[in-house]
């Protein structure tokens, strides 16, 4: 397996506040890694650091064999790191279709275009001429994912896709995941629902107070192990590498 | 008939206001900067055109292009060297920078060209007109101006709504940090925005100068007011509103002048205040800009 992303010894935070401590993480090409952890654990901070929206205090981020630590988010997007940010952040005055078209600004060639996004997410196709500001939460999330796909990322970072959405809507969104993975896209996913996480992920990494306290293959971890790591309770299991 | 004439003349004047205001509205929409130097940049555009004609023998119609290119290039430099940095320092800093520029421009113009009017004549075109019977006549030059205004605003609208760079400009206006995740450097978009805004205000300034037959250094203090009034009357973020705003202001001034030669500015300000009271979001105002 080729390592696509490797994060080594990363400290990161905001101003004087440190949110991440010595993060080490490797993700293989084509893999789906899920990040789990309580609110404020540092999951979004880690995704933002990988996408380059946040500069780490220390450590390195390597992508596709290249040290990208010094590269800003703009350059990393063009190299193929796509972030679906927490809170969706659609362009409110643009229509759904225009939001998707702006997503293609990475200039990357690949399988994703308007037709294919509409095919993978009928929810989006039905709303193409509507302004993003007038969408429901689920529709917004679907457009945010579609917009990132339009950039043809090699690595797709999904931050809290299900936040504030009804389970049926979340189910609908997750049906797009196999299609995305079928294109060979590597995915890092932040998800609160542990059952769902363990069902879709190849590998799980638990973040607790800015540190990765447990990683392991999803099919070898038990719910209890993950829960213990999640809350930092009980005896932590051995940190297993995949 | 004189009243109809005043209204027609006012609409033609409004074309210049609309062109001047479009750039102001664009810079505010994309970068949230109230460009206090906008009127002085317009006057600078007039100076470039008149100097190009007087000292470099550029044919008068081409001076418009020279002015747009020169002031547009200045827009790039100002954005990259001053405004980008100012934007990273605080909300109000960019406005203070534009205030500084609005002080520098007229003072430099006075130093170099003195207080005397810098002439720019369109020759016979300035007086030629189409007689519509009665007292009503439409000057060729004001007509060209209003056609140019409609063309510029239409082109700007098509650019923003029908092209990928235009969509990206609007996306940047909505969320400047998120476009970066799509590989868009927001500062390049700011530079593009400033070039467009500076070039269009130079066009407005050149035509304004031709219309008046010349230009003086401190006229920017008035034209900046007209530009702000136009944007606010029309409603922020709507280019058609900007055109309507220019027309309303132009007609108010022109009709005011018909009543008394002292009245045009006051009449314009009164209409502006009236609209501010009755319809604060402007004639075509939307809640979401651009
Ligand atoms: N912009 C910011 N400025 C300052 N501190 C921040 C900022 N964003 C996050 N933090 C802090 O950094 C820490 C990690 O936050 P982060 O958003 O990464 O957590 P998270 O795991 O994504 O949580 P959640 O599940 O609530 O989204 C928290 O203590 C948070 O308060
Ligand atoms: Mg988060």
- Dump pLDDT digits (tens) for B56-74: 999 999 999 999 999 999 9
- The residue to mutate among A11, A19, A37, A39, having the most atoms of ligand 1 within 8 angstroms of its beta carbon, is A19
- Dump pLDDT digits (tens) for B102-146: 999 999 999 999 888 888 888 777 777 888 777 777 888 888 889
- The residue to mutate among A10, A11, A12, A17, having the most atoms of ligand 1 within 8 angstroms of its beta carbon, is A17
Q: Give the DSSP letter string of chain A.
A: --EEEEEEEEEEEETTEEEEEEEEEEEETT-EEEEE--TTSSHHHHHHHHHTSS--SEEEEEETTEE-TTS-HHHHHHHTEEEE-TT----TTSBHHHHHHHHGGG---SS--HHHHHHH-HHHHTTTTSBGGGS-HHHHHHHHHHHHHHT--SEEEEE-TTTT--HHHHHHHHTTHHHHHHTT-EEEEE-S-HHHHHHH-SEEEEEETTEEEEEEETTT--HHHHHHHHHT-SPPPP----
Mean per-residue pLDDT, B78-106 = 96
> Are B182 and A102 inside 8 Å of each other by CB?
yes
Residue B139 has a pLDDT of 81
- Dump pLDDT digits (tens) for B159-171: 999 999 999 999 9
Around ligand 1, the residues with Cβ closer than 6 Å are: A 14, 17, 19, 37, 39-45, 86, 160
Residue A234 has a pLDDT of 56
Restricting to A residues 144-183, those with a Cβ less than 8 Å away from any Cβ of B are: 147-148, 151
Residue A77 in contact with partner chain B when CB distance is under 8 A:
yes
Q: Which helix (H) or strand (E) holds B244?
A: helix B239-259
| A-chain residues near B174 (CB < 8 A) | 91-94
pLDDT higher than 90, residue B12: no
- Dump pLDDT digits (tens) for B13-34: 899 999 999 999 999 999 999 9
Mean per-residue pLDDT, B88-106 = 96
> Are B181 and A72 inside 8 Å of each other by CB?
no
pLDDT higher than 70, residue B259: yes
- Tell whether the torsion through CA atoms of B142, B148, B151 and B155 is positive or negative: negative
Q: Which residues pair with A205 in a beta bridge?
A: A35, A215
Model confidence at B284, in pLDDT bands (50, 70, 90)? confident
| B-chain residues near A68 (CB < 8 A) | none
Instruction: Choose among B164, B167, B174: nearest Cβ to A92.
Output: B174
**Minimum mean pLDDT among A83-97, A211-225, B80-94, B212-226: which range?**
A211-225
> In which residue are the tokens 């007038």 written?
A134
**Minimum mean pLDDT among B82-91, B126-135, B146-155, B199-208: which range?**
B126-135
- B180 contacts A54 by C-beta, under 8 angstroms: no
> In which residue are the tokens 């060639």 written?
A109
> Are B164 and A103 inside 8 Å of each other by CB?
no
| A-chain residues near B169 (CB < 8 A) | none
Residue A210 in contact with partner chain B when CB distance is under 8 A:
no
Which residue's CA is the closest to the ligand 1 atom numbered 31?
A: A40
> Are A74 and B185 inside 8 Å of each other by CB?
yes
> How distant is the Cα of A217 from the closest Cα of chain B, in angstroms?
30
| Ligand 1 atom nearest residue A160's Cα | 27
| Ligand 1 atom nearest residue A38's Cα | 25
**Do the interacting molecules here have an ipTM over 0.85?**
yes
- The residue to mutate among A12, A13, A14, having the most atoms of ligand 1 within 8 angstroms of its beta carbon, is A14
Residue B69 has a pLDDT of 98
Q: At what angle do helices A167-174 and A137-150 cross, to 10 degrees?
A: 20
Residue B263 has a pLDDT of 87
Preferred mutation among A44, A68, A94 to probe B, highest tally of B CBs within 10 A: A94
> Are A91 and B177 inside 8 Å of each other by CB?
no
pLDDT higher than 50, residue B273: yes
Residue A1 has a pLDDT of 67
Bridge-based pairing of strands A58-63 and A3-14 is antiparallel
Nearest CA in chain A to B29: A93
> How close is the Cα of A191 to the center of ligand 2, in Å?
9
Residue B102 has a pLDDT of 97
> Are B183 and A77 inside 8 Å of each other by CB?
yes
pLDDT higher than 90, residue B208: yes
| Ligand 1 atom nearest residue A43's Cα | 21
Residue B17 has a pLDDT of 94
pLDDT tens for chain A, 242 residues long, are: 689 999 999 999 999 999 999 999 999 999 999 999 989 999 999 999 999 999 999 999 999 999 999 999 999 999 999 999 999 999 999 999 999 999 999 999 999 999 999 999 988 999 999 999 999 999 999 999 999 999 999 999 999 998 888 888 898 889 889 999 999 999 999 998 888 888 899 999 999 999 999 898 988 887 778 787 777 775 555 555 44
Residue B216 has a pLDDT of 95
> Are B181 and A99 inside 8 Å of each other by CB?
no
pLDDT higher than 50, residue B151: yes
Nearest CA in chain B to A156: B181
**Average predicted confidence (pLDDT) for chain B:** 91
Highest mean pLDDT among A225-239, B84-98, B123-137, B231-245: B84-98
């Amino acid at each position: 397996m080729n390592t696509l992303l490797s994060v080594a010894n990363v400290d990161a935070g905001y101003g004087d506040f440190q949110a991440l401590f010595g993060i080490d993480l490797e993700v293989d090409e084509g893999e789906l890694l899920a990040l789990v952890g309580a609110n404020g654990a540092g999951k979004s901070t880690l995704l933002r650091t990988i996408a380059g929206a946040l500069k780490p205090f220390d450590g390195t981020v390597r992508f596709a064999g290249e040290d990208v630590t010094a590269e800003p988010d703009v350059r990393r997007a063009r190299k193929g790191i796509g972030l679906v940010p927490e809170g969706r952040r659609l362009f409110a005055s643009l229509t759904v279709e225009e939001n998707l078209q702006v997503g293609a600004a990475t200039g990357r060639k690949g399988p994703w275009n308007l037709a294919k996004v509409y095919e993978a997410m009928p929810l989006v196709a039905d709303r193409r001429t509507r302004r993003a500001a007038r969408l429901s939460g689920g529709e917004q999330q679907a457009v945010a994912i579609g917009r990132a796909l339009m950039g043809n990322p090699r690595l797709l970072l999904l931050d809290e896709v299900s936040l504030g959405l009804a389970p049926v809507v979340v189910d609908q969104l997750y049906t797009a995941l196999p299609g995305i993975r079928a294109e060979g896209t590597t995915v890092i996913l932040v998800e609160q629902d542990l059952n769902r996480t363990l069902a879709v992920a190849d590998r799980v990494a638990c973040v607790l107070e800015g540190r990765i306290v447990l990683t392991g293959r999803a099919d070898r971890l038990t719910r209890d192990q993950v829960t213990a790591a999640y809350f930092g309770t009980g005896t932590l299991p051995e940190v297993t590498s995949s | 008939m004189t009243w109809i004439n005043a209204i027609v003349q006012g609409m033609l004047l409004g074309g210049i206001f609309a062109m001047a205001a479009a750039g102001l509205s664009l810079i505010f929409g994309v970068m949230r900067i109230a460009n206090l130097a906008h009127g002085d940049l317009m006057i600078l555009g007039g100076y470039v055109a008149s100097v190009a004609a007087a000292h470099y023998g550029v044919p008068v119609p081409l001076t418009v292009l020279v002015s747009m290119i020169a002031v547009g290039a200045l827009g790039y430099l100002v954005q990259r060297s001053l405004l980008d940095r100012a934007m990273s320092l605080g909300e109000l800093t960019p406005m203070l920078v534009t205030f500084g520029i609005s002080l520098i421009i007229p003072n430099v113009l006075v130093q170099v060209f003195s207080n005397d009017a810098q002439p720019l004549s369109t020759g016979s075109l300035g007086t030629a007109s189409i007689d519509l019977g009665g007292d009503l006549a439409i000057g060729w030059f004001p007509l060209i101006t209003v056609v140019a205004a409609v063309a510029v605003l239409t082109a700007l609208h098509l650019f923003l709504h029908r092209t990928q760079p235009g969509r990206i400009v609007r996306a940047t206006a909505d969320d400047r940090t998120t476009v970066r995740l799509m590989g868009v450097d927001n500062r390049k978009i700011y530079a593009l925005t400033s070039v467009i805004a500076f070039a269009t205000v130079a066009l407005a300034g050149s035509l304004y100068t031709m219309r008046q037959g010349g230009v003086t250094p401190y006229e920017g203090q008035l034209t900046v007011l007209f530009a702000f009034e136009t944007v606010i009357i029309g409603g922020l973020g709507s280019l058609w509103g900007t055109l309507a705003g220019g027309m309303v202001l132009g007609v108010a001034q022109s009709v005011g002048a018909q009543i008394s030669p002292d009245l045009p500015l006051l009449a314009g300000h009164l209409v502006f205040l009236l609209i501010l009271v009755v319809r604060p979001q402007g004639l075509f105002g939307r809640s979401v800009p651009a």
